[in-house]
Amino acid sequence: MGRSKKGQIVNGWINLDKPPGLGSTQAVGKVRRLFDAQKVGHGGTLDPLATGILPIALGEATKTIPYCQDHIKIYSFTACWGEQRNTDDAEGEVIATSPVRPTEAEIQAILPRFTGEISQVPPKFSAIKIDGTRAYDLARDGEDVELAARTVYVETLEMTEFSPDLPRFLVVCGKGTYIRSLVRDMAQTLGTVGYIKDLRREAVGPLTQKTAISLEKLQELADSARLEEALLPVETVLADIPALALSTQEAARLKNGQALTFIARPDIERLDKAGIDWKAGDTALAVLQGTPVALVDVEGPNIHPVRVLNL
């Protein structure tokens, strides 16, 4: 007989407001212990110095993590001009200084260069793997880390508060954007050096500060046996994916890993009414009476299960 999994079956998302000084893995561990959950993961790393939205998936929600990671994110941050640090944040050692302090007009003038699709080299102290080893482990060992530039997407970048030394910014960006690299590159463009002094993630797609919860509040709910109040539905991060209503028989087929074929006119009309671009190919959330059944790929009349959700 197979060994039974430890912990409880818990399905859903926790929109955690991560405090400073706590790594993402540590935060996930704390949530796992509070729920005694069998399976837990997160939808996007936050550095220990950063605060704000850390989406934590429990149970079947872990199957939707890739969709969470693809969401647009919002960050507020403070840049510190005049010092460069080896980590590109406040934790690192000073490796260069500059007396140059850009003016408000100079900062405003360069912001358009950092919007749209931009090329960015990740920080040496990052979780990117090089030949199976994390870049930050190599950097801590004193090795010369060289990371390739990558294209990332910045929707908007604005300065919300000017200061000669510590201006504040708000950025809306896509997956894989390093704010530490953004500050480093902005400083270089302005003819100075800089690092990120503080960072807060304001939102990850539909997960915002309005529904965020602190570890302290989670502990209070745990103490009063009300933890389920903090759980958001598995489909929370799938809000921008069209939903396809199924019959009981169709749901059973998908749960068994079998594809569906929609040929009849009423079925094609169902796809159209759901807003599914079945001609070009689309992803949809298949539901039975409002309960998610599976994430599916719709290719013409063929509907293939990608991730079956056991809810």
CA–CA distances in Å: residue 167 to residues 20, 104, 195: 20, 9, 11
Predicted pLDDT at 286: 96
- Residue 37 sits in a domain of what CATH number? 3.30.2350.10
Same domain for 80 and 192, yes or no, is yes
Predicted pLDDT at 90: 92
Of 17, 36, 47, 240, which is the active-site residue? 47
Which residue among 221, 237, 253 closes a domain? 237
Predicted pLDDT at 7: 85
Same domain for 283 and 137, yes or no, is no
Predicted pLDDT at 2: 46
156 part of a folded domain: yes
Same domain for 84 and 182, yes or no, is yes
**CA torsion, ordered 119, 125, 129, 133, to nearest 10 deg:** 160
3 part of a folded domain: no
Same domain for 175 and 246, yes or no, is no
> Which long-range CB contacts under 8 A does 25-33 form with residues at least 24 apart?
27/54, 27/56, 27/215, 28/56, 30/215, 31/56, 31/58, 31/215, 31/218, 32/7
Same domain for 20 and 83, yes or no, is no
Same domain for 132 and 164, yes or no, is yes
- Tokens describing residue 48: 């220990």
Tell me if residue 124 falls in helix, strand or coil.
coil
Q: Can you give the pTM of this predicted structure?
A: 0.90
Picking from 63, 6, 67, the residue whose alpha carbon sits closest to that of residue 32 is 6
Same domain for 198 and 233, yes or no, is no
Under 8 Å between Cβ of 160 and 129: no
Predicted pLDDT at 130: 58
Under 8 Å between Cβ of 292 and 311: yes
Residue with tokens 């689309």: 282
219 part of a folded domain: yes
The secondary element (H helix, E strand) that includes residue 216 is helix 215-223
Which residue among 192, 218, 237 closes a domain? 237
Please tell me the total number of residues recorded for the chain in this structure.
311
- Residue 282 sits in a domain of what CATH number? 2.30.130.10
Same domain for 142 and 250, yes or no, is no
Query: How would you write the pLDDT of the chain (311 residues) with one tens digit per residue?
Result: 444 578 899 999 999 999 999 999 999 999 999 999 999 999 988 989 999 999 999 999 999 999 999 999 999 999 999 999 999 999 889 999 999 999 999 999 999 999 999 999 887 655 566 555 665 555 565 566 676 789 999 999 999 999 999 999 999 999 999 999 999 999 999 999 999 999 999 999 999 999 999 999 999 999 999 999 999 999 999 989 999 999 999 999 999 999 999 989 999 999 999 999 998 999 999 999 999 999 999 999 999 999 999 99
Same domain for 83 and 39, yes or no, is no
4 part of a folded domain: no
Same domain for 217 and 253, yes or no, is no
* Number of structural domains in the chain: 3
Predicted pLDDT at 140: 63
- Verify whether residue 272 is a known catalytic residue: no
198 part of a folded domain: yes
Domain that holds residue 297: 241-308
7 part of a folded domain: no
Under 8 Å between Cβ of 275 and 229: no
Please provide the distance, in angstroms rounded to a whole number, between the alpha carbons at the two ends of the chain.
25
Same domain for 97 and 159, yes or no, is yes
- Tokens describing residue 92: 């690192």
